Structure 1
Amino acid sequence: MTVSVTSPVLKPDILIFGGGIAGLWLINHLQQRGYQCLLLETGTLGGAQTLASQGIIHGGLKYALGGTLSSESEAIAGMPDRWRQAIDGQGPVDLSGLRVLSDTQNLWSAGSVASRMTTFFASRMLRGRIEKLKRPDFPSALADRRFKGQVYRLDDLVVDTESLLEVLTAPVRDRLLHFDPARHPLSWNQRGLEAAALDGVRIEPKLTVLAAGEGNAGLLQDAQKAELFPSEAAQSRPLKMVLLKHRLGHRLYAHCVGTSNKPRLTVTTHDMKDGSLVWYLGGDLAEKGVERSDAQQLDAARRELDELFPWLDFADAELALMDVARAEPRQQGLAKPDNAYARRDRDLIITWPTKLTLAPDLGDRVEALIQERGLETGAPLPPIPGELRRADIGRPQWHRLFGEQG
Structure 2
Amino acid sequence: MSDSRSDTLSLPVDVAVIGGGISGLWLANRLHRAGYSCVLLEARELGEVQTLHSQGIIHGGLKYALGGALSSESEAIAGMPDRWRQLLAGEGEVDLRGVSVLSQTQHLWSAGSLASRFTTFFASRMLRGRIDKLAFADYPAALQDRRFRGAVYRLDDLVVDTDSLVSTLAAPIQPHCLQVQVSADQLHWHEQGLAAITLPGVTLQPRRAILAAGAGNAALLDDARRAGLSPLPDTQLRPLQMVMVAHAQPLPLYAHCIGASNKPRLTVTSHPLPDGRMVWYLGGDLAERGVGLSAEALLADARQELATLFPWLDFSTAEWATTAVERAEPRQGSLAKPDNAFAEAQQNLIVAWPTKLTLAPDLGDRVAALLSAQGFVPQHPQPTLPDDLPRAHPGRAPWMTAFGDRHD
TMscore range, shorter length: over 0.9
Confirm or deny: 8 A CA contact 2:101 2:158 kept in the other structure: yes
Work out whether 1:113 is the aligned partner of 2:115: yes
Confirm or deny: 8 A CA contact 2:193 2:224 kept in the other structure: yes
Alpha-carbon offset, residue 184 of structure 1: 7.0
Cα distance in 2, alignment partners of residues 11 and 95 from structure 1: 29
Q: How many residues align?
A: 405
Give the equivalent residue in structure 1 for 2:17: 16
Cα distance in 2, alignment partners of residues 47 and 66 from structure 1: 33
Q: Secondary structure at the match of 2:69?
A: coil
Cα 1:389–1:276 shift into 2, 3 Å: same
Give the equivalent residue in structure 1 for 2:243: 242
Q: Secondary structure at the match of 1:48?
A: coil
Give the equivalent residue in structure 2 for 1:134: 135
Give the equivalent residue in structure 2 for 1:264: 265
Work out whether 1:354 is the aligned partner of 2:335: no
Alpha-carbon offset, residue 117 of structure 1: 3.9
Cα distance in 2, alignment partners of residues 161 and 330 from structure 1: 26
Cα distance in 1, alignment partners of residues 121 and 179 from structure 2: 52
Cα distance in 2, alignment partners of residues 87 and 401 from structure 1: 29
Alpha-carbon offset, residue 231 of structure 1: 4.7
Unmatched tracts of structure 1, length 5 or more = none
Q: Secondary structure at the match of 1:64?
A: helix
Q: Secondary structure at the match of 2:67?
A: coil
Alpha-carbon offset, residue 36 of structure 1: 1.1
Give the alignment of 1:243-322 within 5 angstroms.
Answer: 243-322=244-323
Give the alignment of 1:128-167 within 5 angstroms.
Answer: 128-167=129-168
Cα 1:352–1:367 shift into 2, 3 Å: same
Quote the RMSD (CA, aligned, Å): 1.6
Unmatched tracts of structure 2, length 5 or more = none
Of residues 246-255 and 224-233 in structure 1, the stretch that sits farther from structure 2 once superposed is: 224-233
Q: Secondary structure at the match of 1:5?
A: helix
Q: Secondary structure at the match of 2:154?
A: strand
Alpha-carbon offset, residue 229 of structure 1: 3.1
Alpha-carbon offset, residue 38 of structure 1: 0.8
Confirm or deny: 8 A CA contact 1:13 1:378 kept in the other structure: yes
Q: Secondary structure at the match of 1:251?
A: coil
Q: Percent identity, aligned pairs only?
A: 56
Q: Secondary structure at the match of 2:13?
A: coil
Cα distance in 1, alignment partners of residues 98 and 202 from structure 2: 34
Give the equivalent residue in structure 1 for 2:26: 25
Work out whether 1:171 is the aligned partner of 2:172: yes
Cα distance in 2, alignment partners of residues 319 and 384 from structure 1: 43
Cα 1:375–1:236 shift into 2, 3 Å: same
Confirm or deny: 8 A CA contact 1:184 1:198 kept in the other structure: no
Give the equivalent residue in structure 1 for 2:181: 180
Cα distance in 2, alignment partners of residues 98 and 363 from structure 1: 18
Alpha-carbon offset, residue 164 of structure 1: 0.3
Cα 1:376–1:118 shift into 2, 3 Å: closer
